[in-house]
Chains A and B, each alone.
Chain A
Amino acid sequence: MKATQKQAETRQPWVREDLVIVPMRAKSAADAIAQLGARLQTGGFVKDTWTQATIEREKTFATGLPTPEVGVAIPHADVEHVLQQAIAVGVLEKPVEFGEMGNPDSTVPVRIVCALAVARSELLVTLLQQLVEMFQSPGVLSQIAGARSPAEIVEIFDHHIQIE
């Protein structure tokens, strides 16, 4: 039983169409996090504490990355707020400012928000490694920023995020 569960968990795609908001309109980083958190909660991926915990965590450990061409943020909460792994993705029409990771005095204009729901911390490491590779692949961020449908976003993530 346990093995079957594990298999189901590892095969499940990280991004689903109902977890993608494109185009997204948000007033602030907190607003963007709340919108993606609502999708994750509706899908049964996170607890109702996730959004607030993520907004709070962002104040101490900002997740905006000054990536080339298009800014990205990877807001997330601790594992205790997560039920099942998933990534909710928002592609903003107009960028919102996220605090810059490692540099509290600075902000990054972000257009791609990847809200990470990760239930096991060792999985976060693998996911982060693959996300970093993906962000550093030439053209991928522009491709995500230019996507017009959730299906396109799901396809791009499926191609790059393969965690067995």
Chain B
Amino acid sequence: MSTKKKLEFLAYAIFIVITFMMPLFLDIFWLNRIAKYLVFGMLGVAISLSWGYAGILNLGQGLFFGAGAYMLAASLKLASPTSLQQGSDTPVPDFMLWNAEPGSLTDLCCITKVSFLWIPFQAQWFGIFMGLVLPVVLAFILGNIIFRQRISGVFVAIITLATVLLFRLLMIDFQPLTNGFNGLTDLGWFTLAGFEFDPYTVQTYYLVAASLAVVLVATRWLVSTRAGLVLQSIRDDANRTRYLGFDVSSYQIFFFCVSALIAGFAGMLYVIAAEFASPTFMDLTFSITMVVWAAVGGRSSLLGACIGAILINVIEATVSETELFVEAWQAIIGLLFVLVVLFLPRGLAGLANDITDRLLGGAKKSQQDAPSGE
């Protein structure tokens, strides 16, 4: 392994170890916060994969995040004690009672016209299953519309932007189904193998941290495969890649779906840690903010984007003591983003990369020619 690769391996290892050591230093309140930021780190990975490696600027990643979140949230809503207190033996979400059809049975089958859609969510595994499948299906459909038509660059960004806003409006409008603006709150705890995950426990933190570690390593491996190399060549020159015999759009759709899967998974973890799902997940500002994290951290580096997301949120949390500093921090982020786009396109990770290159300097030429993976 080349020195570069060894350093990269070390960076990943150190990062994962640090995340696992957090419970030694932080109280449970902060741990829960950090867990949420680790989820954002996962989103950074998703954006990096899509933007940095595939060259697809998705300004609507919140769509997949929200899709994953709502699916699990539906199951957890039905599992909450409140849902069993609505006057029926079977669980019924409280908000459905407020939207009930007059004279209907207090049961998922018939309380509102569309409540039957919630029936399968009584099984938690269904919520998990849909939380992973729905984002991928959406991405597959969207991907086929976009990439088979060879739409690229700015237009992809605009379509993804319009799509997330479209779904946000639909979620808000279908009040009887989704509880509209208020989202899904008062959720039960996630259970796995009989164990309940109270958001304010160390176990939940480790669930998130372990998931992030798995996602980081798996995605890093994926981009180091032949498919990952083809993906990067598509990013550099899609046409040239076609002339070498590759069906470019199938690669783009595949990785777009993987990115959506990661985002959906992140959405589910967020629901477990934060105990709610809301249409704000599909706000435009949130989706673009994810891109800001990845840009600052370094879009072409999975770990960089991940750390960028976590770091920015941690700093934001520390300055949120006064409202004044919150606003000032927002301004700083805005300025940072502009500066990064103008002068530091590969973000902080790129900077770190350049510094290591310079330090390794002369050693490069005599290195064994191993396939590099960055």
Asked if A pairs with B, the answer is no
A binding-site residues for B, Cβ under 8 Å: none
Which residues of B line the A interface, CB within 8 A?
A: none
